[in-house]
A and B are shown apart, each in its own frame.
Chain A
């Protein structure tokens, strides 16, 4: 053991200038290669999805306007209709609604952990949040299907509890850890001088939190919410199990709905490569990608406005 340590240290100390230069070059190449690979992969995926996603419009002649605005989805009918609006609407609705639930809960949890009870609050909440992150989405979906869906079903005049509401609840629990942990980092990174200055002016703890700390951390808190929304938007498995996957525009949150991701996962395996139906699924994937890019743009914009 000692021998090895000895040679290691001497190796480092006496290494010749030439050797060190070689190290520099090698390290530089390795890091550049990895970075280049990452960039290349993301660009390749974007291009691939772009080409595949546009094929239904270019090759199969599906009207992009119909695709984005029609509420009729009948790909197997004699006069097939390809209106994906109900699914786009479903995806957006379920994302916004789950953010509405998860944002206040997550931000309140973050405030609790950093301001109210930094010592024991963090000790308990932190592991709870990590636990929530670790649960696979299929388990969330299965619990939702077994517990939540029959429960909601009791309040409906007929049938099962598959609904936008069930999807919203499952998703909001799933994105809660994302929102909470980023919000906690945001609150914790606020400088102590802010709190002390506020207390020195005679503000109470709640006044300090409400008037000073939350406004100061606001852009990062919003970033936390948007990141949570991005996750909700892309989730397929858990939502598919509880939302009902219908192609109607939901009239209330108790109605069944479908999302882009659930329709893709339900139909992808049954369709043949290159068929119109398969291509329209790729187009839905493209819509997902475009919306994700929009989420990233929003996050970039919010980060640039960060005050502290």
Chain B
């Protein structure tokens, strides 16, 4: 009996190992088979792909992936979040089929941007937001720079309440920070302040801390717990981003290694379709790329479309 148990245990272990390795193999071999299958039958999407990267983009891509899978029950799309760096690294390695990023691949070290194909899925606007009590709603870009570089230290210098300014920053490597530094601060390094990664935590901090200022994507400006600042009289609104008047925005990129194939291509086409661009993109607080009257290249140069 005892002997049998030991054998059973050994058998189970081996079976488990075999199962795990088999699973690992089947998903990759499945992909190649599926992409071939797709070539002959273009209407039916099937197979499985994995998408990873930017956590800011995850809700958007996930919502689209769920709708896509409803329509094509045979397709399996896994959407993971791990940060833009992880997404770019994994898509370059080929371990995922699509890598999402808040920044151009050219802006990240250690990535061969030429090997990657950029698909600009949406545009995200970012606003400087303050605690509602500070009593300031409109500032100039120069003032914003002075606040974030620590030259203006109290809101009363800008005609607000007598409250010390508390900065809420993002980590150095964050795409949101990179965008804000580049387009709002013209490259100036922000002074020290509380540093948090998650947009929800940043929003909570701004709402609860007297005199706090931070920066958030438009999709987090849904209620009056925080006050978005107009810059040089331009409100942080979708229409102003689309017309190019408001410059603090970034593309949300989906990268593929080389030209996309099979299910990855079908899904990216779906992301660019009106169904996603007009509904999901808008619902999630992003701006549709097709509405943009201006465009931008990796160096940050803005031009009319």
The yes or no verdict on A and B being binding partners is yes
Q: Which residues of A contact B (CB under 8 A)?
A: 4, 7-8, 11-12, 19, 23, 26, 30, 73-77, 145, 150, 153, 157-160, 162, 241, 244-248, 256, 258, 263, 266-278
Given contacts A77-B189, A245-B194, A258-B195, are A158 and B164 in contact (CB under 8 A)? yes
Bound complex: CA A150 to CA B181 (Å): 29
Question: Cβ of A75: which chain B residues have Cβ within 8 Å of it?
Answer: 172-173
Which among A158, A267, A275 is the interface contact of B171 at CB below 8 angstroms?
A: A267
Bound complex: CA A7 to CA B171 (Å): 66
Number of A-B residue pairs at CB separation under 8 A: 120
Nearest-Cβ distance from residue A258 to partner chain B, whole angstroms:
7
B73 an interface residue at 8 Å Cβ cutoff?
no
Bound complex: CA A305 to CA B204 (Å): 50
Bound complex: CA A4 to CA B5 (Å): 14
Nearest-Cβ distance from residue A290 to partner chain B, whole angstroms:
24
Bound complex: CA A278 to CA B109 (Å): 9
B172 and A269 contacting across the interface, CB-CB below 8 Å:
no
Nearest-Cβ distance from residue B1 to partner chain A, whole angstroms:
5
Known contacts A23-B3, A160-B208, A267-B171; 14 further A-B pairs (Cβ under 8 A): A30-B6, A76-B178, A77-B189, A160-B194, A244-B195, A247-B192, A269-B55, A269-B83, A269-B86, A270-B84, A271-B83, A274-B110, A275-B85, A275-B110
B108 and A275 contacting across the interface, CB-CB below 8 Å:
yes
B83 and A160 contacting across the interface, CB-CB below 8 Å:
no
Given contacts A159-B211, A275-B110, are A74 and B189 in contact (CB under 8 A)? yes
List 28 A-B pairs, Cβ < 8 Å. Answer: A8-B2, A77-B189, A153-B209, A158-B210, A159-B210, A159-B211, A160-B208, A246-B195, A256-B193, A258-B195, A266-B171, A267-B172, A268-B86, A270-B83, A270-B85, A270-B171, A270-B174, A270-B175, A271-B85, A271-B108, A272-B88, A274-B110, A275-B85, A275-B108, A275-B110, A275-B111, A276-B109, A277-B109
Question: Cβ of B212: which chain A residues have Cβ within 8 Å of it?
Answer: 159-160
Question: Cβ of A160: which chain B residues have Cβ within 8 Å of it?
Answer: 166, 194, 205, 208-209, 212
Which among A26, A74, A245 is the interface contact of B196 at CB below 8 angstroms?
A: A245
Bound complex: CA A74 to CA B108 (Å): 15
B163 an interface residue at 8 Å Cβ cutoff?
yes
Given contacts A158-B164, A267-B172, are A273 and B89 in contact (CB under 8 A)? yes
Question: Cβ of A245: which chain B residues have Cβ within 8 Å of it?
Answer: 171, 194-196
Question: Cβ of B92: which chain A residues have Cβ within 8 Å of it?
Answer: 272
Bound complex: CA A256 to CA B189 (Å): 19
Residue among B2, B55, B84, B172 with the most chain A CB within 10 A? Answer: B172
Question: Cβ of A246: which chain B residues have Cβ within 8 Å of it?
Answer: 192-195
A26 and B6 contacting across the interface, CB-CB below 8 Å:
yes
Bound complex: CA A154 to CA B99 (Å): 44
Question: Cβ of A12: which chain B residues have Cβ within 8 Å of it?
Answer: 2
Bound complex: CA A266 to CA B202 (Å): 13
Question: Cβ of A258: which chain B residues have Cβ within 8 Å of it?
Answer: 195
Give the contact-size bracket for chain B.
35 or more
A-B CB proximity, top 3 nearest: A269-B83, A158-B164, A159-B166
Question: Cβ of A247: which chain B residues have Cβ within 8 Å of it?
Answer: 192
Question: Cβ of B142: which chain A residues have Cβ within 8 Å of it?
Answer: none
Bound complex: CA A256 to CA B89 (Å): 32
**Which chain B residues numbered 173 to 189 have a C-beta less than 8 Å away from chain A?**
173-175, 178, 181, 189
A272 and B109 contacting across the interface, CB-CB below 8 Å:
yes
Nearest-Cβ distance from residue A147 to partner chain B, whole angstroms:
12
Given contacts A270-B84, A272-B111, A278-B110, are A8 and B1 in contact (CB under 8 A)? yes
B85 and A244 contacting across the interface, CB-CB below 8 Å:
no
Question: Cβ of A4: which chain B residues have Cβ within 8 Å of it?
Answer: 1
Which among A8, A74, A162, A273 is the interface contact of B194 at CB below 8 angstroms?
A: A162
**Which chain B residues numbered 1 to 54 have a C-beta less than 8 Å away from chain A?**
1-3, 6
Bound complex: CA A247 to CA B175 (Å): 19
A269 and B192 contacting across the interface, CB-CB below 8 Å:
no
Residue among A150, A162, A258 with the most chain B CB within 10 A? Answer: A162
Nearest-Cβ distance from residue A6 to partner chain B, whole angstroms:
11
Nearest-Cβ distance from residue A257 to partner chain B, whole angstroms:
11
Question: Cβ of A77: which chain B residues have Cβ within 8 Å of it?
Answer: 189
Question: Cβ of B85: which chain A residues have Cβ within 8 Å of it?
Answer: 268-273, 275, 278
Nearest-Cβ distance from residue A276 to partner chain B, whole angstroms:
6
Residue in chain B with minimal CB distance to A11: B1
B290 an interface residue at 8 Å Cβ cutoff?
no
Nearest-Cβ distance from residue B192 to partner chain A, whole angstroms:
5
Bound complex: CA A75 to CA B189 (Å): 11
Nearest-Cβ distance from residue A86 to partner chain B, whole angstroms:
10
